[in-house]
Amino acid sequence: MDPLRFVFGVHFHQPVGNFDHVFEQHVRDVYRPLLERLAEREFFPIALHISGPLLEWLEAHETALLDRIGGLAGDGRLELLLSGLYEPVLASLPREDRVEQIRWMREAVERRFGAKAHGGGLWLTERVWEPELAADLAQAGVRYAFVDDRHFLVTGFAADRLHAPFWTESDGKRVALFPIDERLRYLIPFQPPADIAAYLRLLRERGAPLAVFVDDGEKFGGWPGTKEWVYERGWLAQFLDAMGALVASGEIRLTTPATALSDVPSGGLAYLPTASYREMEGWALPPDAALRLARLERDRRVGTGGALAELLRALSRSEPNAQEDAGAVGVVPALGRSGGGAPGDRPRAVQRRVLARRVRRAVLAASAARCLAPARAGRGRAAAGRAARRRARRPGR
């Protein structure tokens, strides 16, 4: 059995104008110790994205760290990723500005590290995807980008298909997309390394050719409590032990995204809708819609009644062909993966038109009809109170 190819990547970022002491703290607690420990254990190759604001600050204050990164890139042990220079959400920019931002970033990376330090890959800020981005990325010289597996799941792809690169296109220009495994995002670095090793073994046993983890580097010491957990309590050392054992036994093989794009057969062509990762889509909602989404997610956890049942009814009313589709799936599946359970335990793929076009409008329809459970309960209590008062006023009572 071939080893599972494993893309491990981190995204280092500080926003424009952040305080010097915040940059210094993250260099001390996150960026330098993480890279040092990976180098000590030869946990390479990896992918790394350094945002433009952070790169500019490091050039002014921490050139030694950049020299070390450049050395790793020059040896082929690290593949740098591009982005918009000032970490914009590319979909929010005019199309010509998207291309220019990426060009600025490419120039900055090549000036500091050399033209071969990157493989034409892109870290997509907040993983906010728009279909027309494919043409703009290709025009900017991008070969591949990272999005969440959720982008594919809400389009109707089966979870077990998402361990491969895909191609998408717009205006006749194409770019490759790597689905980031959401379960790995929740496992690393928050769960015991043995659980991570078990999940990677499971993927290999099921025939998956590729596993992709690319996420915020600040999780490794910058987020509250993570410095103690990752370094002082030994999570990172145990993780590197576990991964080293998998590499030594031939069960996994670390790879750069560019190499994976060349070596792993494509999953096919994918046309993805406007999407981001699950949490961002929740955060981006207006307050009332966010509250209703929280109720739907609560109902999904505890059962299929209440707001979730109303969503299905609203779904069947909102589209002429939705009744058949809603009956086929029984319940609306989770819009992404949960933190636990094997991939086979997660919602099965449903037709694209159910997830990609109807779920959101059905949520709005349910809201407009005021048919969520709390509203019904409130009206029911009010009606019961009025009836009781009428009975109390009847003669002879």
Which residues are catalytically annotated? Answer: 126, 216
- Contact residues for 138 (Cβ-Cβ < 8 A; gap 6+): 173, 174, 175
- Burial label for 155, CB within 10 Å (0-12, 13-18, 19+), is middle
Six token digits for residue 44: 């390479």
Distance CA 19, CA 167 (A): 40
